[in-house]
């Protein structure tokens, strides 16, 4: 079991705020400032270049990769941190495509996050006209897998609705058709227990600034299944993925296993912040987390449906097919969300009409969920969202 009152005390949460946006940017672990401070003053400040060896900077991407790996059901030694998620999508997809040289189709769905589709479009543009990104509706994915598909590239949890794909079943269907899978775990890692090994996933990627609380711009991760570890060819063949970076050979040779998915110099300061967050995750039982997440989500759905008749549930009603977020639709969703934020309840808005709320048991209590419901109900009943200052769009929604 996990003591969620104890984990909550490990986060810095501003007074008077109910935070329902940990699915977009997790809060600050209290220990992170000191941990980052040590890296800066004691390691960078005192060790200088010696930090790479003496402070273990070079091992951080794989050491932290294994700690993320526990949360996503990866075999030890098969996850590495670095770069941003968009880059990791490109890497995984390029490697998977190269392993199916006689096929030309990348299959994805319209519930995928645009950056994943954009990266696939960029890659298709590089590879040539006979490659194709095929995008179907989420419920049509299973039926669209055929023997032309090289790679099935999906985000497990839809960023707008929270709808969750059946990773195990779709992976099996892809394999039965001779295709490989790339799973994006952006809204899965830290939201519930993922079982990559059990699902037979080939490649997986994800970020650490959402549910994993690694901080803005925290490094991403990539997983390559052990059976592909020595076969996957890195498309982004940077020197730190080379077999012997400090031999400074003129020709690239991929490093051993997951090491080849490194590209360049690791973001040591950002990894230090992530390490403080993973110290909290090390205490968390993922089954307990999921149970609490479902309870918070159901409590919110029931509360909103009882008090806000003009909001329509956009998420699956069935908890088993939902991640750890709940979304409601309203044509004035943007203004409603701004009014909520002004009243201390922070969620976010996704065009065209989605109000999105993340449920994160590590630092969110049932009482806060009730508080958020009653503030939302008051805003809806009084139409206090219907004011000009709530309709001005910011750069980040
Ligand atoms: C959040 C998110 C991203 C963001 O990618 P970055 O490169 O980290 O900005 C990409 N894909 C999915 C599915 C996401 O949810």
Are residues 134 and 186 both part of a single domain?
A: yes
Question: pTM for the complete prediction?
Answer: 0.98
Of the residues 281, 309, 334, which one is the last residue of a structural domain? 281
Same domain, 294 and 224: no
84 lines ligand 1 (CB under 6 A): yes
Q: Which domain CATH number covers 358?
A: 3.90.1150.10
The torsion defined by the Cα of 157, 158, 164 and 168, in degrees rounded to 10, comes to -60
The pLDDT score that the predictor gives to residue 396 is 85
Average pLDDT, stretch 298-315? 98
Segment 115-150, tens digit of pLDDT: 999 999 999 999 987 999 999 999 999 999 999 999
Please indicate, yes or no, if residue 201 is contained in any of the structural domains: yes
Structural domain contains residue 297? yes
1 pLDDT higher than 80: no
- pLDDT at 397 (0 to 100): 81
Q: Are residues 238 and 302 in the same domain?
A: no
> Could you tell which of 21, 83, 86, 165 is best to mutate to test the pocket of ligand 1, judged by most ligand atoms within 8 Å of the CB?
86
pLDDT single digits (tens) 37-62: 999 999 999 999 999 999 999 999 99
CATH number, domain of 125, equals 3.40.640.10
Q: Say which residue the tokens 């998420």 belong to.
A: 315
Count of residues for the chain?
397
Residue 39 within a domain: no
Q: Confidence band (pLDDT; 50, 70, 90) for 156?
A: very high
Residues 262 and 221: their CA atoms lie apart, in Å, by 10
In a domain? residue 396: no
Residue 62 lies in a domain: yes
Q: Is the same domain home to 203 and 312?
A: no
CB 118 less than 6 A from any atom of ligand 1 = no
Q: Ligand 1 pocket, 157 CB below 6 A?
A: no
295 and 339 share one domain = yes
Residues 73 and 206 in one domain: yes
Query: Is 49 inside any structural domain?
Result: no
- Residue 164's φ and ψ, nearest 5 degrees, are -110, 130
Residue 151: the pLDDT is 98
Given 4, 11, 113, 211, the catalytic residue: 113
Q: Are 377 and 307 in contact (CB under 8 A)?
A: yes
Q: Are both 217 and 330 inside the same structural domain?
A: no
- Boundary residue ending a domain (264, 281, 298): 281
Query: 386 C-alpha vs ligand 1 centroid, how far in Å?
Result: 32
- Last residue of some domain: 234, 249, 281? 281
Same domain, 265 and 352: no
- Based on the domain organization, do 21 and 102 belong to the same domain? no
Shortest-distance atom of ligand 1 to CA 84: 7
Q: Is 37 within a domain?
A: no
Instruction: Please report, rounded to a whole number, the percentage of residues in the chain having pLDDT higher than 70.
Output: 100
Active site residue 184: yes
**Structural domain for 385, as ranges:** 4-28+285-391
pLDDT in tens, 201-244: 999 999 999 999 999 999 999 999 999 999 999 999 999 999 99
* % of residues, the chain, pLDDT over 90: 98
256 and 298 co-located in one domain: no
Enclosing H/E stretch for 336: helix 333-342
- The total number of structural domains in the chain stands at 2
Q: Does the beta carbon of 108 sit less than 6 angstroms from any atom of ligand 1?
A: no
What's the gap in Å between 157 CA and the centre of ligand 1?
Answer: 12
pLDDT digits (tens, 9 = 90+) for 258-296: 999 999 999 999 999 999 999 999 999 999 999 999 999
Same domain, 262 and 351: no
Nearest Cα residue to atom 13 of ligand 1: 113
Q: Whose CA is nearest to atom 1 of ligand 1?
A: 186
Answer yes or no: is 38 within a domain.
no
**Centroid of chain to Cα 207:** 4
Ligand 1: atom nearest CA of 86 is 7
Together in a domain, 298 and 264: no
DSSP readout, 67-134? HHHHHHTPPTT-EEE-S-HHHHHHHHHHHHHHTSTT--EEEEETTS-HHHHHHHHHHHHHH-TT-EEE
Q: What are the Cα distances from residue 229, in Å, to 170, 238, 263?
A: 22, 17, 16
113 lines ligand 1 (CB under 6 A): yes
């Amino acid at each position: 079991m996990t003591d969620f009152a104890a984990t909550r005390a490990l986060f810095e949460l501003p007074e008077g705020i109910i935070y329902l946006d940990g699915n977009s940017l997790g809060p600050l672990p209290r220990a992170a400032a000191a941990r980052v401070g040590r890296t800066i003053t004691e390691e960078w400040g005192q060790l200088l270049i010696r930090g790479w060896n003496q402070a273990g900077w070079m091992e951080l991407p794989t050491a932290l990769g294994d700690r993320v790996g526990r949360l996503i059901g990866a075999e030890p030694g098969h996850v590495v941190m670095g770069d941003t998620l968009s880059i990791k999508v490109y890497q995984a997809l390029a490697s998977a495509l190269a392993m199916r040289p006689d096929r030309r189709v990348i299959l994805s769905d319209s519930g995928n996050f645009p950056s994943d589709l954009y990266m696939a479009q960029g890659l298709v543009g590089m590879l040539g006209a006979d490659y194709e990104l095929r995008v179907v509706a989420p419920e049509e994915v299973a039926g669209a897998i055929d023997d032309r598909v090289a790679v099935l590239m999906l985000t497990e949890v839809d960023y707008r609705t929270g709808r969750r794909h059946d990773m195990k079943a779709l992976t099996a269907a892809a394999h039965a058709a001779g295709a490989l899978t790339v799973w994006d775990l952006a809204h899965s890692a830290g939201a519930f227990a993922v079982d990559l090994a059990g699902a037979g996933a080939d490649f997986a990627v994800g970020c650490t600034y959402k549910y994993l609380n690694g901080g803005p711009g925290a490094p991403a991760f990539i997983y390559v299944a052990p059976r592909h570890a020595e076969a996957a060819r890195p498309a982004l063949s940077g020197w730190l993925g080379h077999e012997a970076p400090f031999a400074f050979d003129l020709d690239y040779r991929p490093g051993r296993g997951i090491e080849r998915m490194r590209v360049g110099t690791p973001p040591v300061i950002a990894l230090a912040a992530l390490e403080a967050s993973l110290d909290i995750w090390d205490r968390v039982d993922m089954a307990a987390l999921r149970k609490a997440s479902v309870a918070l989500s159901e409590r919110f759905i029931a509360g909103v449906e009882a008090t806000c008749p003009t909001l329509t549930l956009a998420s699956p009603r069935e908890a088993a097919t939902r991640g750890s977020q709940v979304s409601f639709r309203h044509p004035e969703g943007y203004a409603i969300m701004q009014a909520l934020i002004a009243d201390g309840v922070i969620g976010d808005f996704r065009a065209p009409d989605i109000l999105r709320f993340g449920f994160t048991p590590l630092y969110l209590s049932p009482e806060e969920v009730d508080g958020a419901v009653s503030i939302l109900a008051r805003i809806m009943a009084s139409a206090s969202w219907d004011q000009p200052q709530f309709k001005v769009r910011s750069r980040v929604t």
